[in-house]
Amino acid sequence: MALRHSLRSLFPAVLTLVMLAVLLSLGAWQVERLAWKTDLLARMEARRDAPPLSISGQADIAALKRDAHDFYPAIFNGRFGDDIVFWFTQIENKPTGLDRLDAAGYHMLVPFMLEDGSAILVDRGFIPARLLDITAPPPPQGLQNLAVILRWPDGRGAFDNEDDPSRNLFYVRDPKAIGAHWQFALPPMLGEAARANDSWPRGGQTRFSMPNNHLQYAVTWFGLAIVLVIVSGLWHIRFLKSQRAQAPRGETR
């Protein structure tokens, strides 16, 4: 009888400890993510106002590092290529205040030929889908000193659509895949046109902010851990009281 009662109290205690360890680990992980995200946002804001880098060729590209230069302003020196690729835009990566007909659209991606002949991808900005059936605006001609924001795009997610190279349609800004379609190599980074203009495609769509909800997540996990301890403690107190209340009757038998 005593062994059965011990097991009845031991199993909930072990389960509580396991769940508590999981909740505390999740809370600690969110605290780490909060520190990382806060630092990232601070670096993004600092880079936003930094003097632009001059990018004229492969040597300049080779010196770029994601940790140091993502969201960094730069000047691409060269000219636009002839091919155009459309990238299906994310909902938050388009101009605000658009008419309903203009809300669905693409980002226009084009190769940019630097002064030494090497290529790098440029995101010229957002263009409504309805305009693609009318005309695809050609890029500016001649030598350019193009103001951009350097970006290293995220990888392909599990829910991203498959690219359709036959239509020059890419759902992920993957320079390697796009370069393979054009049959020349592209570096992993690209430049987002920095200047917002009134015509299409509309540049200046770089977002220097991102959600930072890790504090709320951490509070949630740690809060659940506290609730778990309270509920478990109340259960064990009630269990011990019931055992003590039953002890005299057990001894009488």
With beta carbons less than 8 A apart as the criterion, state whether 126 and 172 touch. Answer: no
Residue 60 lies in a domain: no
Q: Is residue 52 part of a domain?
A: no
Whether residue 205 contacts residue 95, with contact meaning beta carbons closer than 8 Å, is answered with yes
In a domain, 208, yes or no: no
| 26-65 confidence digits (pLDDT tens) | 999 999 999 988 988 888 888 888 999 999 999 999 999 9
pLDDT computed for residue 7 by the predictor: 59
Do 80 and 17 lie in one domain? The reply is no
Q: What is the mean pLDDT of the chain?
A: 84
The pTM of this model reads 0.72
Instruction: Report the range of poorest mean pLDDT among 58-62, 108-112, 240-244.
Output: 240-244
Q: How many residues can be counted in the chain?
A: 253
Assess whether pLDDT exceeds 50 at residue 253: no
Collapsing DSSP to helix, strand or coil, 192 comes out as: strand
For residue 65, tell me if it sits in a domain.
no
Residue 17 belongs to what domain range?
Answer: 2-41+213-252
Q: Are 177 and 240 members of one domain?
A: no
Number of domains comprising the chain: 2
For the beta carbon of residue 120, count every other beta carbon within 10 angstroms. Answer: 27
107 and 32, same structural domain?
no
> Are residues 189 and 217 both part of a single domain?
no
- pLDDT: which is higher, 169 or 114: 114
The encoded tokens of residue 97 equal: 């205040």
